[in-house]
Amino acid sequence: MIERYTLPEMGRVFSDAHKYELWCRVETLVLEAHADAGTVPADAVEPVRAAPPPTPERVAEIEEVTHHDVIAFLTAWADNTEPRDAAAWVHFGMTSSDLLDTALAAQLVEATDILLDKADRLVATLREHALKHRQTLRVGRTHGIHGEPDVWGHRMADFAFGMARSRDRLRRAREAVGVMAISGPVGTYSNIDPAVESHVAEQLGLRPADVSTQVVLRDGISEWVSALAITAGVCEAIALEVRHGQRTEVRELWEPFGSGQKGSSAMPHKKNPIMSERICGMARNVRAQIVPVMEGIALWHERDISHSSTERISLPDAAIATDYLLNLTTRLVSGLVVDVDRMRANLNATNGLIYSSTVVSELIETGMSREDVYALVQAAAMRTWETATPFRETLRAEAVERGVTLDEDRLDEVCRPERFVARLDPVFDRLKALA
């Protein structure tokens, strides 16, 4: 992922320098386990533990010759080990995938913990915003067309619960991806004791794979990327709502617009929803990683490395982009400007047509057939669409023409937008309990 969208903490997790730190950690733990079992000389452990990780530049230099990243790493690290003879015992009994998959699991768990912390913050921000606007009336829309009265807090509550579910998926995905293996060539423990694997897993807080065929099957990593993609999708849903709300014809919502910010190089009046548009665009990048990673589940026999090149791109990109999205979406929601008066004006923009469903239910309760009620109300609604005459007037005229008596006081009551607020109390009670 390019630097523009890489936040420092997550960027550090996927840096080459940190990768080699993890590789050193894994190799040292394996060496410790061997030494405890008497498999390797005990005096080899301390020099290896004390050796600083090799620099990415040095590993890259050696890899130009070896064309093998693990061998290049081991050679560069051996150069940092004093006495160098101790390095001979590093990687004893292991194969490359033991190191790569175990360190990758630790790396993905670290990344997930960062994402979980930011998801928690976004859930809290959405929850607070929704509760603040639990009585802010607005029109609910379907197909982009005004439907019925709603409240803005109700819409945001949906996003809060959606992000909470996404966070919970991430927690489950953390378990799915925190799986390691140190089982040697072909995964049969031919050159390494399973006790070594257990020791390393315990020290790293990971779980040994139930079975490893030299590589850990990529179903868990695929689950993790899918969880990230869903999280990004919820961020996009929030951003898309804001983009619609900031349209000139709607003008109900505004992104935070800082002092000195410019909206357009040509049109000084512009205040564009650039944060929301960026969120929608970045979410595509996260979703795009699902298929390449899933295709790494199927490998030739016990192992090939067709997944390797894909994961070097897809896993960091998915994590870094999701991290950026969670951060940016939290900024968007926390600074969101809600135009309450404009929402109320838009609520009344259709001259009362948004109460047609309520009127249908009310008239059916008087004993009329649904077919007759629907015909009456639709005819009145079409008159309002065509003439901009208030819906109550066209409804009254249609009723007179059809010989139907309307209870005007009752209709006044059911067509009050405020009555829709109390109906949503159970939603906000659940929202208050959302952690």
Instruction: List residues with catalytic annotation.
Output: 143, 264
- Contact residues for 181 (Cβ-Cβ < 8 A; gap 6+): 97, 98, 101, 102, 187, 197, 208, 209, 212, 214, 215, 216
**Torsional sign, CA 253, 256, 260, 264:** negative
> What is the C-alpha separation between 259 and 254, in angstroms, rounded?
14
Query: Two tokens at 26?
Result: 């894994």
Query: Two tokens at 139?
Result: 């029109």
- Contact residues for 126 (Cβ-Cβ < 8 A; gap 6+): 156, 157, 159, 160, 163, 238, 333
> What is the C-alpha separation between 51 and 78, in angstroms, rounded?
8
- Contact residues for 59 (Cβ-Cβ < 8 A; gap 6+): 16, 20, 69, 72, 73, 76
Residue for token pair 């320098």: 17
Strands 137-142, 145-151: pairing is: antiparallel
